[in-house]
A and B are shown apart, each in its own frame.
Chain A
Amino acid sequence: NAGVTQTPKFRILKIGQSMTLQCTQDMNHNYMYWYRQDPGMGLKLIYYSVGAGITDKGEVPNGYNVSRSTTEDFPLRLELAAPSQTSVYFCASSGDSNNEKLFFGSGTQLSVL
C-alpha cells in the first residue's frame, strides 16, 4: 500500500519564489494535515482539512495556502518563499473516528536561500 505520498523530497527555492508541495493518500481518509518540523523542535500544524472542500488554519498558517478539491489530494502552496520557511514538511492523514492514529508521508525538505 502506498499510504501517504509526498513530492518532491527535496527542493531549494530562492526568496520570493513560489511552489506547491504535493500530498496524496490512498486510504480514503477524510482528515488530512500539513506539519512543519524545524530543527530541534516538534512538529507544528500549518493547515488541516476534515474533508473535500473544507480547510482550516493550524498553529502556523502565515505564508501558506491549501486546497482540498478531492479526498485524496491536499496540496500546500507557498506563494512568496522566505528563509523562515526553510523546514521539513510532513503531510499526514487519519480516519475520522476519535483518537485515530495519523499516517505520515516521508517528508519534503525545503530550503529557501
Chain B
Amino acid sequence: GNSVTQMEGPVTLSEEAFLTINCTYTATGYPSLFWYVQYPGEGLQLLLKATKADDKGSNKGFEATYRKETTSFHLEKGSVQVSDSAVYFCALMPSGGYNKLIFGAGTRLAVHP
C-alpha cells in the first residue's frame, strides 16, 4: 500500500540554522510528492511539490528533491526564520487517484531568535 513516514518532532532550531526534515514513502506506481505547511490555527497550504523522479520542488527558500532510488523527499532550508515555525507535512498523491493525498504524521518546527 501507500504510506509516508516523517521524522518525529519537535525540531527546535535557532534562527539562521540549517533545516532538514526527513520524509520517506512507500508507493505503487509513480506518485507525486508534496510538502504542506500548517501555521497555528490555520489550514494546510502547499509549500512545494515534485511530480516525477529527480524533480526538485522549491518555494520560499525551501527545497526537496524526489529521489526514487531511496524513496525519499527530504525538506531542506539553508537558513530558517522565526516565521518558519509551523507543522510540516509530507504527502504523496498516487497516480490516477483523483488528487487524494496520503499524509505523513507531520513534523513540528520551532525556530527561536
Interface residues of A (CB under 8 A from B): 4, 31, 33, 40-45, 48, 50, 58, 90, 92, 94, 96, 98-102, 104-107
Assess the B103–A94 pair: CB atoms within 8 A.
no
Assess the A101–B43 pair: CB atoms within 8 A.
no
Residue of B nearest to A50 (CB): B98
Assess the B42–A106 pair: CB atoms within 8 A.
yes
Residue of A nearest to B93 (CB): A99
B101 within 8 A of A: yes
Residue of A nearest to B48 (CB): A101
Distance from A60 Cβ to chain B, minimum over Cβ atoms (Å): 12
Assess the B49–A101 pair: CB atoms within 8 A.
yes
**Alpha-carbon gap, A99 to B33, bound state (A):** 9
Residue of A nearest to B51 (CB): A99
Contacts of B89 in A (CB 8 A): 42-43
Question: Number of A-B pairs whose CB atoms are under 8 Å?
Answer: 60
Distance from A21 Cβ to chain B, minimum over Cβ atoms (Å): 14
Contacts of B106 in A (CB 8 A): 40-42
What 8 pairs between A and B have smallest CB-CB spacing? A104-B43, A42-B103, A101-B46, A104-B44, A99-B32, A43-B103, A94-B99, A42-B105
Residue of A nearest to B46 (CB): A101
Contacts of B73 in A (CB 8 A): none
**Alpha-carbon gap, A98 to B94, bound state (A):** 10
Distance from A25 Cβ to chain B, minimum over Cβ atoms (Å): 12
Contacts of A42 in B (CB 8 A): 4, 89, 91, 103-106
Assess the A58–B100 pair: CB atoms within 8 A.
yes
Residue of A nearest to B103 (CB): A42
Contacts of A96 in B (CB 8 A): 98-99
Contacts of B32 in A (CB 8 A): 98-99
B113 within 8 A of A: no
Assess the B100–A101 pair: CB atoms within 8 A.
no
Q: Which of B43-66 contact A (CB under 8 A)?
A: 43-46, 49, 51
Contacts of A104 in B (CB 8 A): 43-45
Assess the B105–A99 pair: CB atoms within 8 A.
no
